[in-house]
Amino acid sequence: ESVVNRIAAGEVIQRPVSAVKELVENSLDACSASINVVVKDGGLKLIQVSDDGHGIRYEDLPILCERHTTSKLSTFEDLQGIKSMGFRGEALASMTYVGHVTVTTITKGQLHGYRVSYRDGMMEHEPKPCAAVKGTQIMIENLFYNMTARRKTLQNSADDYPKIVDLLSRFAIHHINVSFSCRKHGAARSDVHSVVTSSRLDAIRSVYGVSVARDLMKIEASDNDPSSSVFEMTGFISNSNYVSKKITMVLFINDRLVECGALKRAIEIVYAATLPKASKPFVYMSTVLPLEHVDANVHPTKREVQIFLAVKYYNCSCLLANDIGLLIHL
Ligand code: ADP
Ligand code: MG
């Protein structure tokens, strides 16, 4: 049984960056205002995510890392609605099958926190009282220690740290009311360091730099059929002054960070056709879309989604940026 669990867990947590994504999403779900990530050896030695969210109740600690344990669904409708992204109640459990997980947490009004370690879905010992300020810190040590082949493959390729920095950058420009930091273990300075702001453009400037932010224009689209449910898209796309060899596409659907290959390719094609320069675009898009139009089953890790942008929403086309007449035909 443990081998089966480990294989299943290895599917959910494919690389260090997948673990970081799950942990940060949990911190966001816990209403954190500040999320700090520390990584050692590309995440293979250590991933540590600390937040100042609502914490985990003492009585929830024993089952925290059991599969399908989640505090986020209460009704069947929730379950249907949430088919969207992520693995409900599987992320933390999975991590305990492929790494050593230690949780330190304190809930509001408590005098001290608790620390507990998990392995293979279970607590290794009773939660121990400890000093804690606010929120939760989750540490994953020795990821894939029991998956020799996976570990070797990861060790032989470039490590995940740049991917983790990229991930945190994406979160930071979407969740502008949360401050994020990310650094290597032992490093004095952070590689991502965002501060809370009310301006998306300021956030992009602080994370991606002035050279990106100054060449962006606002994009907006919405559902003009009042009888249907909400569809809204807002964001930024680079203008003709922008020069980059690679595309950056940051896409959030209903506040979940996702990939959408089809949309990315469509934007790339239209961008190339519209702008004479051989530059790849920078795009940030945040879309609110009824879940029946998102099919999250395209890729087993559910990072990749397919958007069924029905005629109803887009009239077959999405006006992305009036200024340069970028029309995305899907
Ligand atoms: P899911 O996020 O799908 O519920 P996870 O395995 O990622 O499943 O997490 C299991 C549960 O652990 C969550 O439902 C939540 O109650 C709790 N949890 C995990 N991380 C945190 C955190 N940083 N702060 C508060 N609660 C957390
Ligand atoms: Mg989760």
- For residue 307, what are the CA distances in angstroms to 237, 242, 314? 19, 27, 12
CA 33 to chain centre: 16
Ligand nearest the Cα atom of residue 134? 1
The more confident residue out of 214 and 328 is 214
Q: What is the pLDDT of residues 122-133, one digit of tens each?
A: 999 999 999 999
Identify the residue whose C-alpha is closest to ligand 1 atom 16. Answer: 71
Using a 6 Å cutoff on CB, does residue 72 contact ligand 1?
yes
Q: Per the structure block, which two tokens stand in for 95?
A: 């991590």
pLDDT, mean of residues 149-162: 94
- For residue 250, what are the CA distances in angstroms to 44, 146, 219? 26, 33, 13
pLDDT above 70 coverage of the chain, percent: 80
Asked whether the predicted pLDDT for residue 76 surpasses 70, the reply is: no
Asked whether the predicted pLDDT for residue 91 surpasses 60, the reply is: yes
Which residue type, as a one-letter code, is found at position 206? S
pLDDT, mean of residues 256-270: 79
Q: What architecture is domain 2-193?
A: 2-Layer Sandwich (3.30)
CA distance 188 to 198: 27
Q: Which residues of 15-41 are buried (b: 16+ CB within 10 A; e: fewer)?
A: bbbbbbbbbbbbbbebebebbbbbbbb
Identify the residue whose C-alpha is closest to ligand 1 atom 23. Answer: 27
Using a 6 Å cutoff on CB, does residue 113 contact ligand 1?
no
Mutate to test the pocket of ligand 1, among 20, 22, 23, 29 (most ligand atoms within 8 A of CB): 29
Asked whether the predicted pLDDT for residue 104 surpasses 90, the reply is: yes
Q: What is the pLDDT of residue 313?
A: 35
pLDDT, mean of residues 172-176: 98
Using a 6 Å cutoff on CB, does residue 89 contact ligand 1?
yes
The more confident residue out of 190 and 229 is 190
The more confident residue out of 287 and 191 is 191
Q: What is the pLDDT of residue 163?
A: 97
The more confident residue out of 181 and 89 is 181
CA 55 to ligand 1 centroid distance, Å: 9
The more confident residue out of 157 and 106 is 106
Say which range, 44-48, 160-164, 240-244, has the weakest mean pLDDT.
240-244
Q: Looking at ligand 1, which atom is closest to the CA of residue 49?
A: 23
Using a 6 Å cutoff on CB, does residue 154 contact ligand 1?
no
Phi, psi of 182 (to 5 degrees): -145, 125
Identify the residue whose C-alpha is closest to ligand 1 atom 3. Answer: 88
Q: What is the pLDDT of residue 322?
A: 35
Domain spans of the chain?
Answer: 2-193, 215-329
CA distance 329 to 321: 13
Yes or no: domain 215-329 corresponds to CATH 3.30.230.10:
yes
Asked whether the predicted pLDDT for residue 180 surpasses 90, the reply is: yes
CA 26 to ligand 2 centroid distance, Å: 5
Assign 262 a pLDDT band (cuts: 50, 70, 90). confident
Using a 6 Å cutoff on CB, does residue 136 contact ligand 1?
yes
Assign 74 a pLDDT band (cuts: 50, 70, 90). low
Q: Which residue's entry shows tokens 């109803």?
A: 312
pLDDT, mean of residues 143-151: 95
Which residue type, as a one-letter code, is found at position 199? S
Using a 6 Å cutoff on CB, does residue 19 contact ligand 1?
no
Q: What is the pLDDT of residue 233?
A: 82
In 275-320, which ranges are continuous DSSP H helix? 311-314
Asked whether the predicted pLDDT for residue 228 surpasses 70, the reply is: no
CA distance 275 to 272: 6
Asked whether the predicted pLDDT for residue 326 surpasses 70, the reply is: no
The more confident residue out of 257 and 293 is 257
CA distance 203 to 193: 10
Using a 6 Å cutoff on CB, does residue 160 contact ligand 1?
no
Three-class DSSP category at 149:
helix
Using a 6 Å cutoff on CB, does residue 140 contact ligand 1?
no
pLDDT above 90 coverage of the chain, percent: 57
**Cβ-based neighbour number of residue 11 at 10 Å:** 14
In whole numbers, what is the pLDDT of the chain averaged over residues?
A: 83
Q: Per the structure block, which two tokens stand in for 116?
A: 């507990």
pLDDT, mean of residues 167-188: 98
CA distance 140 to 49: 9
Q: Give the bridge partners for 47, in sequence order.
A: 39, 140
CA distance 141 to 94: 13
Q: What is the pLDDT of residue 88?
A: 67
Q: Which residue's entry shows tokens 């009773």?
A: 126
Q: What is the pLDDT of residue 301?
A: 56
> 254 in the Ramachandran plot: left (φ > 0), alpha (ψ -120 to 50) or beta?
left
CA 88 to ligand 2 centroid distance, Å: 6
